[in-house]
Amino acid sequence: MSGTLDETDRQLLELLAEDARMPLTGLARRLGLARSTVQVRLARLEARGVIAGYTVRLGPGHRSDGGVEAMVSLVVDARRVDRVVGELEACKEVRSLHAVSGSVDLVALVRCPTPVDLDRLLDHIGTIPGVERTNSSVVLATRIDRRDPT
């Protein structure tokens, strides 16, 4: 199989995004394929890293850690972006990091157990060589979340 996904792979991924616990027989029936064919496709997608894992995403108000999330916008010296990304990758509190267009260069979604921990993390991010400026917004509530759980 080449590096691109065919239509059947895309349909399979859409079904898994709807319900990652759908049994192979259900996936096969919905796709009009043999169960063994679906199993081979899944194994191939997993081996290629297209499917990195299966997870549970808790709904609003059901998080067990009671932590705090924030969106952190960063303006970064263009010559040091790789170093900044490396430093942020080493921070377990950084859930995602996006390169963006506009007045900032990177936007990170971070999650910390307490506001005090968030404050420490923000202080740390501000000291990373190459970070010129940050702006943080604490997430009060999530109104819509269509992100893949992976």
- State residue 1's pLDDT score: 40
CATH number of 7-47: 1.10.10.10
Q: Which residues of 91-126 are buried (b: 16+ CB within 10 A; e: fewer)?
A: eebbeebeeeeeebbbbbbbbbeeeeebeebeeebe
Same fold, 7-47 and 68-138: no
CA distance 144 to 142: 6
Each residue's pLDDT, cut to its tens digit, for the chain (150 residues) gives 446 889 999 999 988 888 888 899 999 999 999 999 999 999 999 999 898 887 766 665 555 556 899 999 999 999 999 999 999 999 999 999 999 999 999 999 999 999 999 999 999 999 999 999 999 999 998 888 776 654
Q: What is the Cα–Cα distance from 54 to 9, expressed in whole angstroms?
A: 16
Q: Please tell me the predicted confidence (pLDDT) of residue 2.
A: 47
Tell me: domain 68-138, CATH 3.90.110.10, correct? no
Strand 94-99 to 106-112 pairing: antiparallel
- Burial category of 67 from C-beta neighbours within 10 Å (exposed 0-12, middle 13-18, buried 19 and up): middle
Radius of gyration of the CA atoms of the chain, in A: 19
**Residue in this structure with the two tokens 């063994």, named with its chain if needed:** 36
| pTM of the predicted structure, to 2 decimals | 0.60
3-class DSSP assignment, residue 94: strand
> First and final CA of the chain: distance in angstroms?
23
Give me the residue spans of the domains in the chain: 7-47, 68-138
